[in-house]
Amino acid sequence: MKKLLFTVLSILTLAGCKEKTQKEEIEKDTLDVKIDSTFQTAVKQYRYLSNQVTLGEYPKTFYKDKEGLETSNSGWWCSGFFPGTLFYLDEAVGAQDLKEEGVAILEDLKKEQFNTSTHDLGFMMYCSFGNAERLAPKKEYEEILMNSAKSLSTRYNDTVQAIRSWNSAPWNKAGEDDLVVIIDNMMNLELLFWATKHSGDSTYYDIAVNHANTTIENHFRKDYSSYHEVIYDELTGKAKLKITNQGAADSSAWARGQAWGLYGYVVMYRETKDKKYLEQAKNIANFLLNHPNLPKDKIPYWDFNAPKIPNALRDSSAGAIIASALIELSTYTTGEISSKYLNDAKVMLESLLSSEYIAEVETNGGFILKHGVGNMPNNTEVDTPLSYGDYYLIEAMLRYKELNK
């Protein structure tokens, strides 16, 4: 009797395990299928988008009810995302024509390697030339990236121990002896790490570390939410004012700003292996994922403290950035916390890859993601596609596929 009971229990246990394994496999396959389908949609969209611009025009957004497609020149902070997305799509599915389009765009973009007037050279040059060099190394790309890092380094202030973001911010009463740093600047440090690895010159590495440390000290509140902007006295290095220019209020948690911070400190840990950056990334992630105003589908409102929640607009770009960062963060952690980061990223991707957010072919101006929010207080790019939303969505999908090979 005991032997029979043991046999029955063993069969039931094996059946339960098999059922669980099959369920997990189905869930994984469902997201894999959605990702593969979205890659195909994205290729069609970017072929359509490419046909609407000429060399020197960089897609920014699309207004369906008025101006239509909005573009910039190469000096705009988003210029690197268009060619970067083309390279990512070729990497994902082998779209040779998009790769060739991206290479052609680099010929126009490369002049920005000497641009010392912006802190956004990481976005502009590393998302474009960085991907081009990674996928098809060329001496020319390496030289352009090194010059870009040198240009970015000219904006570093040793007294403040940070890289100047905006040259001025008169709307916030920033004076001539003030240095403005925004949380977005964490995203430009990856270029500096590349420069040190390539050249052996630790100057770039040290600048990145100093900037990240200054940002930890001054940009974050006790709950690990972040101000958008800190104004420093560049003569003393002390923080004078902490504000949130693109969020709902100075004290609010502007969603994309939180996303930049999370992603930035994941990169910091990857490049330095200093555990304080891993802890910072985990603390930011925990703030975001445990926030009472994070919706069930994990796509954040444009500000975690936005007026009119739950009827406030979502920001799909913030969701894409967070998902990409969480996937990488899950690889640096173990156990339940690693599973949580990955599972929450999967929920975000499932949501972003639904018809609510993915545009139909030849709609949405050719962009992939709908419902981004650029600058709500300034009433620009509100509930529109955004070039960086597309870039980080494709990156997140590539990262997820890499984990599930």
Question: How far is residue 376's CA from residue 383's CA, in Å, rounded to a whole number?
Answer: 9
Token reading at 217 = 């000290």
Distance of CA 33 to CAs 77, 370, 401, Å? 33, 20, 10
Question: How far is residue 217's CA from residue 212's CA, in Å, rounded to a whole number?
Answer: 9
The DSSP code sequence of 84-99 is HHHHHHHHHH--HHHH
Distance of CA 75 to CAs 68, 125, 292, Å? 21, 11, 39
Q: Are 395 and 88 in contact (CB under 8 A)?
A: yes
Give me the amino acid identity at 317.
S
Strand locations in 86-201 (E): 156-157, 162-163, 178-182
Q: Which sign, positive or negative, has the C-alpha torsion 159, 228, 177, 165? A: positive
Residue 141: phi and psi, rounded to 5, are -65, -40
The catalytic residues are 120, 184
Distance of CA 294 to CAs 60, 304, 315, Å? 27, 7, 12
Determine the distance from the C-alpha atom of residue 121 to the mean position of all C-alpha atoms in its chain, rounded to a whole number. 15
Question: How far is residue 82's CA from residue 390's CA, in Å, rounded to a whole number?
Answer: 9
Task: Please enumerate in sequence order all residues whose Cβ is within 8 A of that of 157, keeping only pairs 6 or more positions apart, or say none.
Answer: 163, 164, 179, 232, 234
Beta bridge partners of 181: 230
Residue 305: phi and psi, rounded to 5, are -120, 30
- Nearest Cα to Cα of residue 339 among 329, 350, 353, 351: 329
Beta bridge partners of 157: 162
